[in-house]
């Protein structure tokens, strides 16, 4: 596959992700207001809690979907339809078993619903109806929608995004209308389940159109399972990575609650609402290249692989810097205008929060290439990272409260994400000198820091409102930093040249 074709598909994935990101973002704020006013905060809280409970059950997925996605890269590159049919059959067989496990676990969990919701205004019939409707919607993915993994691995995830998000938007609009005019809880839940079924039919119809040769059979998957032992090997490795990261991010709120007070937890939550949305925006733009990276690695051209890494590395670095600069300068004026100055946290909390976001965002390119190479064998990392997070957050949290908890998380991220992961990729994946990474990281860091000094002096000359000053500062910083990176980073120039070529 040509480089231009990969760029086209990556841009298409990013464009579709971006369009639906803003549509769903706007709709989510508006719909939540309607649901709270018409159905009440208790019902919204009930549905959120039930969906969170079922989210824990989905850990049974173990990372099989990601493992299958990686295993598909090579046969997709080779256009090996027979092997693709076999792998999807194995995937269907495994997902069918996971669906059965989740169904059994879901039925057992249902027995405890009266204990989980002992004092509620809702009758148990509604709680059980909503719970089993959500469970059924979740199970559809395991019994019917497993083929969508092929679209993602084949750089056509924009198809999944477009159909799923369109169904979500239509469903939400219908639920808003029913809530406004009837206020009926059961109708709201029925629409939720109905659109899960409708989406499944439409998606599978589209998959059959895109891949008319796809003839996967779950019954054959059982027979073919032993032919692909790498699926279970990668699944076990990915599961440890997945459960380690899940445990770490679930533990952080607990430590915040333990070593500070509820008021501080609420204040911190106001900040993360904003940062989570910005993180999601960047991920929607950058993760669109993941399947293209897998396809490129399957091609096996080492020079082209490393060249592409540096292009994505610098664009990630640039986007992370702009986001961090925006958060650092815009957060406090926005919080003050939104809910009041009394909700502001100390500047030190904001700095550590920005550092954590920067580490996670700039490591994204390394993570994509590690996945593309199938380098999941460092299963000791999530265990050690979680242990380090617990130890440092406990010690520092005891002495410094919220700041200490966040610093503990920063230390664990730095050691195992920012230090180990690039070392692992460059030594065992690229098989080249790790100092190449250190040099480019330092060079990129200098190019990101220099404009901050000039922009700060420039803003001192302006006398507009704080928010207007901040917006001007973000725009100027973005432009100046981009110019500097285009002047001094060949990979950045090549990246923009290729994008312009694709567009025109």
Beta strands in 34-85 (DSSP E): none
Sequence length of the chain is 504
pLDDT of residue 242: 80
Which of 227, 258, 274 is the last residue in one of the domains? 227
Task: Name all contacts of 414-418 with Cβ < 8 Å and 24+ positions apart.
Answer: 414/359, 415/385, 415/388, 416/381, 416/384, 416/385, 416/388, 417/359, 417/360, 417/363, 417/385, 418/359, 418/362, 418/363
Q: Does residue 444 lie in a domain region?
A: no
> Mean of the per-residue pLDDT values for the chain?
83
Q: Does residue 467 lie in a domain region?
A: no
Question: Domain check: are 36 and 181 in the same one?
Answer: yes
pLDDT of residue 414: 92
DSSP 205-269: HHHHHH-TT----HHHHHHHGGG-HHHHHHHHHHHHHHHHHHHHHHHHHHHHHHHS-HHHHHHHH
Question: Domain check: are 334 and 410 in the same one?
Answer: yes
Start-to-end Cα distance in the chain = 20
Question: Domain check: are 253 and 216 in the same one?
Answer: no
User: In the chain, how many domains are there?
Assistant: 2
Q: Which two tokens stand for residue 230?
A: 């790498």
Q: Is 181 exposed, middle or buried (0-12, 13-18, 19+ CB in 10 A)?
A: exposed
Question: Domain check: are 248 and 303 in the same one?
Answer: yes
Q: Is the pLDDT of residue 503 over 70?
A: no
Query: What pLDDT digit, counting tens, does each position of 106-159 carry?
Result: 899 888 888 877 777 778 888 898 889 988 988 888 887 778 888 877 778 788
CA contacts within 13 A on the Cβ side of 371: 28
Question: Domain check: are 198 and 253 in the same one?
Answer: no
Q: What pTM, to 2 d.p., does this model score?
A: 0.80
Question: Domain check: are 344 and 221 in the same one?
Answer: no
Question: Domain check: are 205 and 337 in the same one?
Answer: no
Q: Does residue 504 lie in a domain region?
A: no
Question: Domain check: are 90 and 42 in the same one?
Answer: yes
Query: What pLDDT digit, counting tens, does each position of 178-235 carry?
Result: 988 888 889 988 998 898 888 888 888 888 888 888 887 777 777 777 787 777 788 7
Which of 227, 245, 278 is the last residue in one of the domains? 227
- CA 17 to CA 392: how far, in whole Å? 37
Q: Does residue 475 lie in a domain region?
A: no
Identify which of 44-58, 305-319, 456-470, 485-499 has the greatest average pLDDT.
305-319
Question: Domain check: are 277 and 174 in the same one?
Answer: no
Query: What pLDDT digit, counting tens, does each position of 4-49 carry?
Result: 566 677 777 778 888 888 888 778 777 877 887 888 877 877 887 7
pLDDT of residue 422: 92
Q: Domain of 12?
A: 1-227
Query: What pLDDT digit, counting tens, does each position of 420-453 carry?
Result: 999 999 999 888 888 999 999 999 989 998 888 8
Residue with more model confidence, 26 or 319: 319
Of the chain, the percentage scoring pLDDT greater than 70 comes to 96
Q: How many CB atoms lie within 10 A of CB 42?
A: 12
Q: Does residue 465 lie in a domain region?
A: no
pLDDT of residue 314: 92
Question: Domain check: are 175 and 294 in the same one?
Answer: no
Which of 197, 227, 257 is the last residue in one of the domains? 227
Q: Is the pLDDT of residue 3 over 60?
A: no
Q: Which two tokens stand for residue 416?
A: 């195992």
CA contacts within 13 A on the Cβ side of 243: 16
CA contacts within 13 A on the Cβ side of 210: 18
Q: Does residue 329 lie in a domain region?
A: yes
Q: Does residue 441 lie in a domain region?
A: no
Q: Is the pLDDT of residue 1 over 70?
A: no
Question: Domain check: are 158 and 15 in the same one?
Answer: yes
Q: Does residue 479 lie in a domain region?
A: no
Query: What pLDDT digit, counting tens, does each position of 261-303 carry?
Result: 666 776 777 788 788 778 877 777 777 777 778 888 888 888 8
DSSP state of 59: G
Asked if 237 contacts 382 with a C-beta cutoff of 8 angstroms, the reply is no
Q: What is the dihedral of CA 34, 39, 45, 49, to 10 degrees?
A: -110
Q: What is the mean pLDDT of residues 404-424?
A: 91
Question: Domain check: are 172 and 320 in the same one?
Answer: no
């Amino acid at each position: 596959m040509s480089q231009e074709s990969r760029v086209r598909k990556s841009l298409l994935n990013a464009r579709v992700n971006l369009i639906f990101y803003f549509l769903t973002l706007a709709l989510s704020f508006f719909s939540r207001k309607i649901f709270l006013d018409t159905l009440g905060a208790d019902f919204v809280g009930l549905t959120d809690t039930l969906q969170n409970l079922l989210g824990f059950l989905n850990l049974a997925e173990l990372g099989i979907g990601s493992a299958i996605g990686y295993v598909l890269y090579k046969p997709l590159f080779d256009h090996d339809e027979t092997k693709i049919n076999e792998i999807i059959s194995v995937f269907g067989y495994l997902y069918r078993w996971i669906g059965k496990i989740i169904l059994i676990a879901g039925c057992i969990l249902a027995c405890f619903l009266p204990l989980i919701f002992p004092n509620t205004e809702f009758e148990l019939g509604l709680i059980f109806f909503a719970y089993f409707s959500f469970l059924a919607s979740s199970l559809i993915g395991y019994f019917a929608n497993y083929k969508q993994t092929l679209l993602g691995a084949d750089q056509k995830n924009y198809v999944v995004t477009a159909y799923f998000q369109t169904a979500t938007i239509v469903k939400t609009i219908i639920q808003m209308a029913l809530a406004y005019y009837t206020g009926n809880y059961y109708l709201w839940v029925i629409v939720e389940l109905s659109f899960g079924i409708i989406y499944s039919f439409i998606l599978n119809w589209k998959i059959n159109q895109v891949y008319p040769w796809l003839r996967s059979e779950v019954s054959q998957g059982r027979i073919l399972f032993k032919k692909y032992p790498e699926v279970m090997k990668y699944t076990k490795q990915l599961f440890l990575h997945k459960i380690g990261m899940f445990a770490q991010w679930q533990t952080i709120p607990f430590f915040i609650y333990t070593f500070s007070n509820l008021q501080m937890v609420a204040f911190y939550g106001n900040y993360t609402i904003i940062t989570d949305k910005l993180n999601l925006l960047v991920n929607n733009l950058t993760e669109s290249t993941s399947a293209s990276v897998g396809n490129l690695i399957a091609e096996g051209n080492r020079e082209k692989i490393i060249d592409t890494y540096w292009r994505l590395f610098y664009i990630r670095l640039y986007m992370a810097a702009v986001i961090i600069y925006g958060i650092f300068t815009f957060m406090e004026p926005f919080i003050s205008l939104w809910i009041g100055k009394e909700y502001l946290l100390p500047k030190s909390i904001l700095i550590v929060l920005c550092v954590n976001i920067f580490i996670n965002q700039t490591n994204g390119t390394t993570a994509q290439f590690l996945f593309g190479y199938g380098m999941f064998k460092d299963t000791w990392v999530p265990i050690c990272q979680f242990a380090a997070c617990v130890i440092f957050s406990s010690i520092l949290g005891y002495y410094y409260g919220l700041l200490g908890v966040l610093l503990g998380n920063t230390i664990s991220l730095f050691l195992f994400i920012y230090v180990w992961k690039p070392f692992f990729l460059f030594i065992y994946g690229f098989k080249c000198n790790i100092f190449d990474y250190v040099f480019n990281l330092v060079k990129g860091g200098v190019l990101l820091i220099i404009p901050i000094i000039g922009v700060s002096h420039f803003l001192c000359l302006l006398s507009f409102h704080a928010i207007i000053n901040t917006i001007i500062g973000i725009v100027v910083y973005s432009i100046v930093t981009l110019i500097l990176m285009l002047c001094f980073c060949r990979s950045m120039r090549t990246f923009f040249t290729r994008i312009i070529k694709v567009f025109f």
